[in-house]
C-alpha cells in the first residue's frame, strides 16, 4: 500500500453551493476545520456522516461534464495521503503513473495520471 484515500475532489464553479448540495444528499459537516487543507473561495469540503471526505475545487470557466461525451469528460480526481512524498512518487511511477505536475518549491502535493489518463494527487500527510 502506498497511501490512503484522503478525499474525492470535484471540480465546480461554486464550491460552497456544491458542498451544501452534497450535505443535503449525504448529511455531514461542510468546511469542518482540518489541517490537511485550507478552506476558502476556491476550496470547500464535506465530511459526510459515513464514507470519505468530498472536496470541491473551484475551476475558472468551469464547463460541466456531459455524460458519455468524450469532449466534456468527468471532472474529478482522488487525493491520496502519503507519509513520504518522494518514496510514494517512485512507487506510483513504477506502477505506471505519469507525473503531470511536480508541485515545485515547498508544495506538499504532486499530480499524476493513472495509466488510463485519470488524474490523482499524492498529498504529504499532515496531522
**Could you read off the pLDDT of 72-111 as tens digits, one per residue?**
887 888 888 899 999 999 999 998 899 988 887 667 899 9
Could you give the angle at the alpha carbon of 106 between the alpha carbons of 100 and 62, nearest 5°?
45
**Could you read off the pLDDT of 28-78 as tens digits, one per residue?**
999 999 888 888 899 999 999 888 999 999 999 888 888 778 888 878 888
Terminal Cα distance for the chain, rounded: 19
* pLDDT score at 127: 66
Cell reading at 13 = 464553479
Q: What is the average pLDDT across 13-41?
A: 91
**Contact in structure between 92 and 122 (CB atoms under 8 Å):** yes
Give the model's confidence band at 8: pLDDT under 50 very low, under 70 low, under 90 confident, else very high: very high
**Contact in structure between 33 and 53 (CB atoms under 8 Å):** no
Distance of CA 27 to the CA centre of its chain: 20
Amino acid at each position: 500500500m502506498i497511501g490512503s484515500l484522503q478525499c474525492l475532489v470535484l471540480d465546480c464553479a461554486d464550491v460552497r453551493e456544491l458542498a451544501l448540495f452534497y450535505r443535503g444528499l449525504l448529511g455531514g459537516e461542510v468546511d469542518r476545520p482540518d489541517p490537511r487543507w485550507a478552506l476558502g473561495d476556491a476550496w470547500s469540503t464535506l465530511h459526510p456522516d459515513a464514507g470519505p471526505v468530498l472536496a470541491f475545487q473551484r475551476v475558472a470557466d468551469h464547463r460541466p461534464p456531459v455524460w458519455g461525451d468524450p469532449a466534456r469528460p468527468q471532472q474529478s480526481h482522488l487525493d491520496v495521503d502519503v507519509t513520504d512524498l518522494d518514496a510514494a512518487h517512485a512507487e506510483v511511477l513504477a506502477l505506471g503513473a505519469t507525473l503531470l505536475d511536480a508541485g515545485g518549491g515547498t508544495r506538499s502535493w504532486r499530480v499524476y495520471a493513472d495509466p488510463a489518463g485519470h488524474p490523482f494527487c499524492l498529498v504529504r500527510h499532515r496531522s
